[in-house]
Amino acid sequence: MILASVLDEISARLASARRVLFITGAGISADSGLPTYRGVGGLYDGEVTEEGLPIETVLSGAMFSVRPDITWKYLAQIERNCRGALPNAAHLAIAELEATLDHVLVFTQNVDGLHRKAGSKRLIEIHGNLHDLVCTSCDFAESVEDLSGRPLPPVCPACGGVLRPLVVLFGEALPESAIGRLVAELEQGMDMVFTIGTSGVFPYIAAPVVWAAEAGIPSVEINPLVTRLTPHVTYHLPIGAAEAMGAIRSRVAALRA
């Protein structure tokens, strides 16, 4: 009953909100069958790789520049984990809310592309997307469904150079344009902020939640675990993303009917 009443209160606030920010991490994709391991996009487990190097080293921009084959070996493992995964109730709920509320923004750490597949259009993929490929030697770029059947590293069909996914590797700077978009959105204000399936380890993920708390903006954390963000939010829902967002979506739909 306590959880139900909290869901009711959150849904009532959301139904009347005009501008809403959803911050998502690997946990939102757990119900799509993706592991919530650490690494690029939260999809790799293990402190040391077969090469005897930390995962942060093999998945770094520095390693890619000298041994793209090693970096691609682990990028391909991540991509295979994502392959065939479908958006779950949480992704779909957020996309539906974007279609019904005035302004919904998704700011995600994930590189799995599931928010795109669910239909979210106002989307900032701060770590990029594994399925957007660019050539390191020319201007060739393409978006692919998956990497099956391709050599590793993938070869540019235009010049024969090495392709790389548009993801932020360890040691690389975040895309300035994406950060600029987030800042511009926050400057226009938010009526509500959700954080789903992320522990908020990175400052740029935690900052909007802390900003909301300081500004008195209602905030919601959806995570079975207590995280460093929990003390800052208005509501903490200690359940899975699909269960929580499915319940919220149905309540908002009823309130707005």
Cα–Cα dist 217/186, whole Å: 12
The pLDDT of residue 129 is 92
Length of the chain: 257
Question: Which tokens hold the place of 16?
Answer: 């009347």
3-state helix, strand, coil in the chain (%, to 5): 45, 20, 40
pLDDT at 40: 47
**CA–CA distance, 11 with 53 (Å, rounded to integer):** 46
Marked catalytic residue, from 127, 131, 232, 236: 127
Mean pLDDT calculated for residue range 221-242: 96
Q: Token pair for residue 141?
A: 């770029």
- Mean pLDDT, rounded, for 105-133: 95
DSSP state of 137: S
Of 34-48, 128-142, 149-163, the one with minimum mean pLDDT is 34-48
Instruction: Give the pLDDT score at 37.
Output: 55
Q: How far apart are alpha carbons 44 and 37 in whole angstroms?
A: 5
Q: What pLDDT is stored for residue 43 in this prediction?
A: 44
127 is catalytic: yes
Helix-then-strand count for the chain, H and E: 9, 9
Closest to 101 (Cα-Cα) out of 30, 171, 41, 190: 190
Mean pLDDT, rounded, for 102-120? 95
Find residue 170's DSSP bridge partners.
60
Give the full edge-to-edge strand order of the sheet including 128-135: 141-143, 128-135, 163-167
Give the pLDDT confidence of 54-69 residue by residue, as tens digits.
888 999 999 999 999 9
Pull the structure tokens for residue 174. 């975040």
pLDDT tens, 7-49?
999 999 999 999 999 999 999 999 998 876 554 444 455 567 8
| Closest to 129 measured CA to CA, from 152, 149, 106 | 106
Strand ranges in 74-233 using DSSP code E only, listed in sequence order: 103-108, 123-125, 128-135, 141-143, 163-167, 192-196, 219-222
pTM of the model: 0.92
Band the pLDDT of 194: cuts 50, 70, 90.
very high
Residue 208 pLDDT more than 60?
yes
Q: Provide the residue type at 10 as one letter.
A: I
135: Cα within 13 Å, side-chain hemisphere: 13
CB 88 within 8 A of CB 31: yes
Any idea what DSSP says for residue 84? T
Token duo for residue 191: 């009526």
Domains delineated in the chain:
2-34+87-127+174-256 (3.40.50.1220), 35-84+130-167 (3.30.1600.10)
